[in-house]
Structure 1
Amino acid sequence: GLAQNFAAIRALATEGIQAGHMALHARQLALAAGAQGEMVNRIVETMIAEGNIRLERAKTLVKAVLDKPNLA
């Protein structure tokens, strides 16, 4: 709710519409894929760096972290 609204406003003010939207979208995909805690940030950073912000990629990254916990 309020936190998402604040994040959206911050993204518009600091990163621009598209970059901010993609970061928020990547975060939602990471959460939808089952990421929790710090894992969310790692997955978001990876997807953005790869330019591959998709649910299937988020699921693959979550599985990789769960299979090898030392990656988180």
Structure 2
Amino acid sequence: GVWAQLRLVEAGGGLRAPGDSVLLSCRGSGFTFQEYYVLWYRQAPGGTLEWVSYILGSTKKYGAAV
């Protein structure tokens, strides 16, 4: 069979001060990006994961953190 080279690159994350804004981006190649969910989470140091957003094609949903 043929194996595809799939690639997913995110940018814009990292540690921020409380109240700061952040711009996140995600780029994919080797597959049809619009057919897959992209989920974003955040995690404070020592904290638990908190769902931020998901995107599927043109559908976008946001959590309370946004």
* The two structures share one fold, judged by TM-score above 0.5: no
TM-score (norm 1): 0.25
Larger Rg belongs to: 2
Query: Greater share of helix residues, 1 or 2?
Result: 1
The structure whose residues are more often strand, as a share, is 2
Task: Pick 1 or 2: higher relative contact order, CA cutoff 8 A, min separation 6.
Answer: 1
